[in-house]
Copies of this chain bind each other. A is one copy, B any other.
Amino acid sequence: MTPITQPYQSRLAQEAAMVLRQEPVVYPHARLPPGRGLDPAQLKRYEEDGFVQIEDFFGPEEIADFRAELQRMASDATLTAREETIREPGGRDVRSIFSIHTLSDAFSRLARHPRLLDITQQILGSRVYIHQSRANLKPGFSGKEFYWHSDFETWHVEDGMPAMRAVSCSIALTDNNEFNGPLMLMPGSHRQFIRCVGETPANHYKESLRAQHYGTPDPLHLSLLAEQGGIASIKGRAGSVVFFDCNTMHGSNSNISPFPRSNLFLVYNSVENTLNAPHGNLAPRPEFIATRENVRALTPVEPPVHRTPQAALTE
């Protein structure tokens, strides 16, 4: 596929604008055997809304393993001293750890989970690799907001991602409710690209990972998108997974509730959509934020089998 860069210019200090999406949302793909990938209704919802949520995608034991692994990482002083670890603005709490699929064996296996690969390959119509991965820890009481943004806008401008052919997968490690700043998405917003105003400063990523000030859409277009499709918030039990298109407008409010909100975030990009040079003479962002050198098409790895108490009893 030829990179389409013209329509998605952004941050050139011009007027904000709304541009129609050029690419498909669901790419042509081989049919999967029944029971694998998204079913037709889920795929339709993903195509129309720009996201689909699946409850109980992972079981309690798997989630317990992920949480333990994340806890281990967040209390590893060597690891939290690395640049992959991002702290809350004005605080010492860990907000995110990037590149978990390279820093942890368990999360490396997770990234190659057969069900995740089935779904992301189905949507993107090709083999896939991890463009970015991270764990987000939104602490109780003091979790800060993430302002509205399209991930693709950033990945296109700052990373040179050519086309809208990536899907994000957010795995809930904690229950998400209306009180702890759940992910909010604008259904249908993935069908338009919002050009943002303002240039990108050098080394913008260091600040933007803590609080975003550039590449933010203007209020008028956000209002239009919200009028068009409303807002949906992703609530559900730990273990639920939401897949959303790289151009779906999303954000989250602060979290003053006592309930922390943690999730794992894996971005699958098509191997036919690898990165070009960033726009406007920006230096490429580090590899841990945007995979450029180490592109590896993923092959499925079966997850570890969890013995249920029932299974143990019948042995």
**For the complex, is A57 an interface residue (Cβ under 8 Å from B)?**
no
Q: A157–B313 Cα gap in the complex (Å)?
A: 60
| Cross-chain contact A141 with B222 (CB below 8 angstroms) | yes
**For the complex, is A254 an interface residue (Cβ under 8 Å from B)?**
yes
Residues of chain B with a CB closer than 8 A to A141's CB? 219, 222
| Cross-chain contact A256 with B257 (CB below 8 angstroms) | no
| Cross-chain contact B179 with A233 (CB below 8 angstroms) | yes
**For the complex, is A236 an interface residue (Cβ under 8 Å from B)?**
no
Q: Interface 1/0s, chain A 35-59, versus B by CB < 8 A?
A: 0000000000000000000000000
Residues of chain B with a CB closer than 8 A to A219's CB? 140-141, 258
| Cross-chain contact A223 with B147 (CB below 8 angstroms) | no
Q: Which partner residue on chain B sits nearest A235 by CB separation?
A: B178
**For the complex, is A155 an interface residue (Cβ under 8 Å from B)?**
no
Q: Which of A63-77 contact B (CB under 8 A)?
A: none
Q: Which of A253-310 contact B (CB under 8 A)?
A: 253-259
Q: A20–B303 Cα gap in the complex (Å)?
A: 51
| CB-contact partner of A254 in B145, B231, B258, under 8 A | B145
**For the complex, is A16 an interface residue (Cβ under 8 Å from B)?**
no
**For the complex, is A181 an interface residue (Cβ under 8 Å from B)?**
yes
Q: A178–B177 Cα gap in the complex (Å)?
A: 10
Which secondary structure characterizes the binding site on chain A?
loop
Given A140-B219, A178-B178, A219-B140, check contact A231 B257 (CB 8 Å): yes
| Cross-chain contact B256 with A253 (CB below 8 angstroms) | yes
| Cross-chain contact B254 with A223 (CB below 8 angstroms) | no
Q: A254–B254 Cα gap in the complex (Å)?
A: 5
| Cross-chain contact A222 with B258 (CB below 8 angstroms) | yes
| Cross-chain contact B226 with A258 (CB below 8 angstroms) | yes
Q: A258–B186 Cα gap in the complex (Å)?
A: 11
Q: Interface 1/0s, chain A 184-201, versus B by CB < 8 A?
A: 100000000000000000
Q: Which partner residue on chain B sits nearest A147 by CB separation?
A: B256
Write the nearest CB–CB distance from A225 to chain B, whole angstroms: 9
Q: A254–B182 Cα gap in the complex (Å)?
A: 12
**For the complex, is A148 an interface residue (Cβ under 8 Å from B)?**
yes
Given A251-B256, A256-B251, A257-B184, check contact A178 B222 (CB 8 Å): no
Residues of chain B with a CB closer than 8 A to A255's CB? 253
Partner-B contacts on A (CB < 8 A):
140-141, 145, 147-148, 178-179, 181, 184, 219, 222-223, 226, 231, 233, 251-259
